[in-house]
Amino acid sequence: MKLSYRDPGYEYSAQSIAEFIKQDESRTTSIFHFLPELDKFKDLFSRDADNRDIVEEILDTIAELYKSNEQSIRGKVISYQEHWDQHEKLINDRFSSIFQYDTNGIFNNLVCNITLNPISPRYLQECVFDVFYLNSDKGSLGSALHEITHYLWFHLWNKKHNDSYEQYESPSLIWILSEAVVEQVLNNDDFNKINPYHKGENAYSCFYNMMIDEKPLYDHLDTMYKNNSIDKFMEESYQFMIENEEEIRSQMPNRGSY
**What pLDDT is attached to residue 24?**
61
Q: Which residues contact 182 (CB under 8 A, 6 or more apart)?
A: 146, 149, 150, 202, 203
Q: Which residues contact 43 (CB under 8 A, 6 or more apart)?
A: none
Q: How far is CA 133 from CA 5, 61, 80, 114, 129, in A?
A: 11, 17, 10, 5, 13
**What pLDDT is attached to residue 26?**
67
Q: 20, 119 in Cβ contact below 8 A? A: yes
Q: What beta strand segments (E) does the chain contain?
A: 3-6, 110-115, 122-123, 128-132, 211-212, 215-216
Rounded CA separation 114/249 (Å): 32
The whole-model pTM stands at 0.93
Q: 217, 211 in Cβ contact below 8 A? A: yes
Q: What is the pLDDT along the chain (258 residues), one digit of tens a residue?
A: 999 999 999 999 999 998 888 776 667 889 999 999 999 888 777 666 677 888 888 999 999 999 999 999 999 999 999 999 999 999 999 999 999 999 999 999 999 999 999 999 999 999 999 999 999 999 999 999 999 999 999 999 999 999 999 999 999 999 999 999 999 999 999 999 999 999 999 999 999 999 999 999 999 999 999 999 999 999 999 999 999 999 999 999 863 333
Rounded CA separation 162/52 (Å): 38
Q: Where are the domains of the chain?
A: 3-159, 164-256
Q: Which residues contact 66 (CB under 8 A, 6 or more apart)?
A: 9, 10, 13, 73, 116
